[in-house]
């Protein structure tokens, strides 16, 4: 039985006092749980503060992106080793906002995935189709292309110990959630595609759903057999909302 994961993505939000208030409220509501992992992916400048608040607690922390480069003349980049130095254990790679706004094409995402792994981070590898792609019936083609870029560069064994996230672009920050059946179908597709290369890795691979998850829809989504938790944007900025999702994951685990 796979464990559950709830990961917050703060995106470009936060402030020193606001982060502290949020994390203290989250910590007041969580207990360590053997079957359920909780993490927040925060803007890089806040990693040191977040480490100070979360070290020794059940909440892990990570980055929202990782450079495909290790070091050198790459102004503005943050390497996997830098994230690790600040205690991050994971990093999102291939988020649709980075794909759409910052030029993260499939090949670049594959390089970032490899860089995160090399640095000892758990990549949270995001994939998902746009509304236009869903309406044209090419969702599985898009997911296959995005997944294959990583499989071809790193191999299926490199997915072991990592986390996938299915995030339909049309559901991110829109209030429109995929139905639990739509999520299950996409997750099962991704798992089967990894399974063609390595059945054992596929069977233990956590696949999170992301896209307008809330306390009110989390239980239904997390009850699906291939949905192993959620990647949470907006609701991760409100302690009570994030905790409600966490409680749903614990109940489903």
**Structure tokens, 68:** 């495909």
| Interface map 169-208 toward ligand PEP (x if CB under 6 A) | ---xx-----------------------------------
**Cα torsion angle, 82, 86, 91, 95, sign:** negative
| DSSP three-state, residue 210 | strand
Closest CB to ligand PEP belongs to which residue?
233
Q: Which residues are catalytic?
A: 95, 167
Stretch in the footprint of ligand PEP (CB under 6 A) among 101-109, 111-119, 216-224, 232-240: 232-240
CB of 70 to ligand PEP, least distance (A): 26
Residues 28-87 that bind ligand PEP (CB under 6 A): none
Place of tokens 């803007």: 43
Nearer to ligand PEP, 39 or 156 (CB): 39
Residues 233-252 that bind ligand PEP (CB under 6 A): 233-235
CB of 40 to ligand PEP, least distance (A): 12
Beta strand spans in 64-193 (E): 90-93, 122-127, 163-166
**59 burial class (0-12, 13-18, 19+ CB within 10 angstroms)?**
buried
Could you tell me whether strands 207-210 and 229-232 are parallel, antiparallel, or unpaired per DSSP bridges?
parallel
| DSSP three-state, residue 48 | helix
What is d(CA 252, CA 71) in angstroms, rounded to the nearest whole number?
42
Nearer to ligand PEP, 14 or 233 (CB): 233
Nearer to ligand PEP, 122 or 213 (CB): 213
Instruction: Characterize 88-112 residue by residue with b for buried, 16 or more Cβ atoms within 10 angstroms of its Cβ, and e for exposed.
Output: bebbbbbbbbbbeeeebebebbbbb
CB of 199 to ligand PEP, least distance (A): 28
Stretch in the footprint of ligand PEP (CB under 6 A) among 43-51, 77-85, 112-120, 227-235: 227-235
> C-alpha 15: how far from its chain's center?
22
Tally of CB atoms within 10 A around 30: 19
Task: Give the total of residues touching ligand PEP (CB under 6 A).
Answer: 14
Nearer to ligand PEP, 138 or 238 (CB): 238
Nearer to ligand PEP, 36 or 166 (CB): 166
The verdict on 232 binding ligand PEP (CB under 6 A) reads: yes
The verdict on 168 binding ligand PEP (CB under 6 A) reads: no
What is d(CA 247, CA 253) in angstroms, rounded to the nearest whole number?
10
């Amino acid at each position: 039985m796979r464990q559950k994961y709830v990961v917050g993505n703060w995106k470009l939000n936060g402030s020193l006092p606001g982060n502290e208030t949020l994390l203290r409220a989250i910590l007041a509501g969580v207990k360590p749980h053997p079957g359920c992992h909780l993490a927040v992916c925060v803007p890089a400048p806040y990693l040191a503060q977040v480490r100070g608040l979360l070290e020794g607690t059940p909440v892990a922390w990570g980055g929202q992106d990782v450079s495909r480069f290790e070091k050198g003349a790459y102004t503005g980049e943050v390497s996997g080793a830098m994230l690790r130095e600040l205690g991050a254990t994971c990093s999102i790679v291939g988020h649709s906002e980075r794909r759409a706004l910052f030029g993260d094409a499939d090949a670049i995402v594959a390089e970032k995935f490899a860089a995160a792994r090399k640095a000892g981070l758990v990549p949270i590898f995001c994939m998902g189709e746009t509304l236009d792609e869903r309406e044209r019936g090419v969702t599985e083609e898009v997911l296959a292309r995005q997944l294959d870029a990583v499989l071809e560069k790193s191999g299926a064994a490199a997915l072991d110990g990592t986390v996938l996230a299915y995030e339909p672009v049309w559901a991110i920050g829109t209030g429109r959630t995929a139905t639990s059946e739509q999520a299950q179908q996409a997750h099962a597709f991704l798992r089967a595609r990894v399974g063609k290369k390595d059945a054992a890795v596929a069977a233990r691979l956590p696949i999170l759903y992301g896209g307008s998850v809330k306390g009110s829809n989390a239980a239904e989504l997390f009850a699906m057999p291939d949905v192993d938790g959620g990647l949470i944007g907006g609701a991760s900025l409100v302690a009570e909302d994030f905790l409600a999702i966490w409680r749903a994951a614990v109940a489903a685990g």
